[in-house]
Amino acid sequence: MARADARQPAADRPWRPATLDDLPLRDDLRGRSPYGAPQLEVPVRLNTNENPYGPSAELVDALGKAATLAATEANRYPEREAEALRADLAYYLTPDAGFGLHTSQVWAANGSNEVLQQLLQAFGGPGRRALGFEPSYSMHRLISLATATEWVAEDRAADYTIDPVAAADAVRRHRPSLVFLCSPNNPSATALPLDVVKAVCAAAEEIGGCMVLVDEAYAEFRRAGVPSALTLLPEQPRLVVTRTMSKAFALAGARVGYLAAHPAVVDALQLVRLPYHLSSFTQAVARTALAYADELLGTVEAVKAQRDRMVDELPALGARVVPSDANFVLFGLFSDQRAVWRGLLDAGVLVRDLSLPGWLRVTAGLPNETEAFLGALRGVLTENPSLLAGAE
């Protein structure tokens, strides 16, 4: 058989058969699946917790001008430490924190997932352990495993809350290097009382060498009177609070996440971050969005109204709901949540099946999307009432 001509275009050359098993993949990654929600073309997509409100024409114009200005210096590397963006973020967080945050206490990266990855690179790794309370955001576990950090988990209570005494005891038993807390939690949407965070921080101090991470990706959607873990930062040098611009700021496409912590934590992350990790365009777009914070956060109240409508109306259909401080609702309890998910999809409504027995998650969308979801669910349950067999 003639050897393929090396000058032959690569697309036309035969590929040698190979599978993932043929590659020298790390043993602890074999058999695992990548993270990802289904991306299906349906009329109503309520499965990824996006903000349904797009930017105004004025903001679109401002974003375009910011990107154009950044393009004039695209031949240069971006501002490596993103200090102007971090200063803007510190100013934005100050009201929630209740004290004046400084640039040195804030760090930004490409989405909160990269922030979490950098934290695990700095404080996790081989021979170290991360602790979480499940069900919760699955990327905490996945990024831990991807950074060769052992993952251990404790179960939340039946109502998805965390008991502070039990949480502190778990820290003492497992002796992790990092503890992940999620407030509001995903997928349950429940916010953590600060006494849980305080108890975990106290236990972490007892065992020594343990960081406590509070993931507040949905913090802007919490109900009135629910405090942020940011308020604890002055007294907790090993506490880290992470946030994102993907949700409340409707900037999921830009991939901007950030954290607030002691300046020493930011110093540690600079040891593991890639050079020039935030592009000039990302920084320009994020700073522009922060300049329009009042407009963007105005959509938060509209989203919360749709969330509260679902919380109020789902029980009338026979479904249970978990109280929500986020832009989504966990609802059930179904004898076969997959059948309900399929029935909704057949009606043109996509929600999230997280393989949590009996439960589904729905994002708060536009008013017409909420109407379509509730109508579709009413139809599914009317056609097959046995799907509510698990409800009381």
Render pLDDT for 59-70 as a digit per residue (tens, 0 to 9): 999 999 999 999
- The percentage of residues in the chain with a pLDDT greater than 90, rounded to a whole number, is 85
pLDDT of 287 strictly over 60: yes
Contacts of 363 (CB under 8 A, 6+ apart): 46, 47, 48, 49, 50, 52, 327, 328, 351, 352
pTM of the complete model: 0.91
pLDDT band per the 50, 70, 90 thresholds, residue 350: very high
pLDDT for residue 205 is more than 70: yes
- pLDDT on residue 244: 96
Q: pLDDT, tens digit, for every residue of 70-122? A: 999 999 999 999 999 999 999 999 999 999 999 999 999 999 999 999 999 99
Confidence of residue 391 (pLDDT cuts 50, 70, 90): very low
CA angle 241, 363, 315 (to 5 degrees): 115
pLDDT for 6 equals 55
Mean pLDDT of 255-277: 96
The pLDDT, as a whole number, for residue 15 is 79
Q: What rounded mean pLDDT belongs to the chain?
A: 93
Give the pLDDT score at 14.
81
Residue 36 has pLDDT above 80, yes or no: no
Confidence of residue 9 (pLDDT cuts 50, 70, 90): low
* Domain at 70-291: CATH architecture: 3-Layer(aba) Sandwich (3.40)
Residue 4 has pLDDT above 60, yes or no: no
Question: In this predicted model, what pLDDT tens digit does every residue of 146-157 receive, in sequence order?
Answer: 999 999 999 999
Selection from 163, 136, 137, 140 nearest residue 150 by Cα: 140
In the predicted model, what is the mean pLDDT of residues 240-255? 94
Band (392; pLDDT cuts 50, 70, 90)? very low
**pLDDT reported for residue 32:** 81
Residue 324, number of CB atoms within 10 A of its CB? 25
pLDDT of 3 higher than 50: yes
Note the CATH number of domain 44-51+295-388: 3.90.1150.10
**Where, residue-wise, is CATH 3.40.640.10 in the chain?**
70-291
Residue 340 has pLDDT above 50, yes or no: yes
Q: Where in the chain is the domain with CATH 3.90.1150.10?
A: 44-51+295-388
Residue 5, pLDDT > 70, answer no
Angle at 220 between CA 217 and CA 221, to 5 degrees: 95
The pLDDT > 70 percentage for the chain reads 95
